[in-house]
Structure 1
């Protein structure tokens, strides 16, 4: 298409020279001459405009040319700011989380049987319950299971426990499915907000880009780049952004164990959950069975999963599936946790995006955007040549008539 647009411009130059020689032969040649002359002007002007977006025309450093490579770092900062402002914000995450029923999904997961992955998860959950119950004093519980368990649970600092669990999960590389889910969620969020992305890019486009009609194409290129980035992160386990997220998770695990502010927030969420009457009723019903199966769980976790502990977890799953009040509490806990994580670590994620784009050389940025826009750049030149010619004929006709 670049060759076609150039040949059309050269062709208009040839027509102009030929028509100039024939001006005295017939008045019609004046119209051909005017068309070719204006077409050359229009074609050259649009060639300059298109070229000025990506490089200096003819290598001459004319002011306000090579717009995209000259503003590469600003584009990177704007993209990062856009991601942080419109995706990694507490409002957006909370709105998305409200559409999800985490508690019901967890209940379905605990009730289902037979899948090896689910078995490992339930085995880990059972061990967690065993550790919790071992830390309690059975003599103090007796017939006051409901009140006793609540008091003991309130005394447990759950934040360091969660931090150690997350730390162990990262060490065993079991956090990757969670990261994959977050990436897919980011893709869905981007898909839901495509129009907003286009509007923002078009609003931030300078006059040259809007004048050439490239703002829409540039917005599509930004969207395609974001989708491509998410796809690369999803399929590439060694992608640098995964490493950055993992650093954030490692910091979260550390803060859960050592940061007083984080531990206070987790403690408050735990107390809100324990205050739910459905949780107290469930504890009272399952305590005796959990206590009796404790030794068996420690000695043979696999067998225990098929017995009292597995049955208790299945009951918990049924409660999560059927109790709307408990679902509301759990979903609120999940939403607040994720919103807090995004609020605390969102800047690190978008900082990596900005740093990655800034690390590209100007030639790489120019080539990727130019290829993404593609053939339409050359159609601008072709249209400019033809429209310029038509304008020239119109002006010539008006001068002849008037």
Structure 2
């Protein structure tokens, strides 16, 4: 009892601790893996010490009441001293029993090596593993994750949130910042090498002639090439009109030297007029025979690209030669630089088409998610599947993180940290034990007297 009185700041029978006398000592000399005690923790520990003092004070109070009641009994007083002594005696038993139970969680009572005491320091690793298993079984199961996400209604809340213009602006700004940061961090040389290598590898791995032939065949069948032919006819006619002298010089320059000059000139004029007439007719007559010849040529060429081995082989050789040229690789590199500069500029400009379209798309998505139940169900299903995949795939890693973290904590410091957080409430157990024990003792003594025991 004397030892209990002298150690009132801690627990009855608890050895004096340096950190109680110097609150900063535990945190400053904390071993590796220990907790750091912050000011809030120190305030909690002071609260625990106050509650310990109150609980211990109640124990001392009932002990004094018991001593007084027994003294009165021994002095010959009858009646009330017996009831008071019985209540006080049971109160002391309850207080001591609960003191032992509370103290045994964090340390050995009175320093004695009693089995099943100092539970938190000695069973810390086991508690960590048990906690990890508990979390894995009760929080990281697929059914629990699905039920929780379904109850939260992520898509509905997200839709309502995105439908607000201020929130859409915020998300747009964050996305723009992230995109700009990602493009800024990337090295141009690395991206250009990757893009160039990917394009070259993809082109080498796939034969392009059949695809080009199928596309050309569809274009010819739909008449999509006619506007190109119209443009070529107009340009050819315009060129002939502007460069008539050049055409006649070319014709006369190729005439034999023995022909008279006036004959060469007449022939050149005749050739030029025929060419001009031919170009004008092709320009103005959609059903001109030459146009039909072009149609047949393109149709035959489309078939050859798809089925003629020699044509396909020549196209492949041409493709390889083109991709291997330095100018093409430089074009790929310059294209990436241009695209990056354009995207970065658009991300920085609040009024750019990119950001405006992104904002509009977010608002539209939010409105649809708020009103379209099928869309919400689909998004919720995707989120649930993704979350279940993560927790089922990485459950062991998550639970081992808990157990390994707890195992790395210092046992003594862990005990003190936990006691600082829950010790104040645990002291109410001692107070309740004192009160309940006294009431139980009083009831038992009263019943015994009533039965004549």
Please classify the TM superposition score into its range, dividing by the shorter chain length. Answer: 0.3 to 0.5
TM-score by length of 1: 0.46
- With normalisation by structure 2, the TM-score equals 0.42
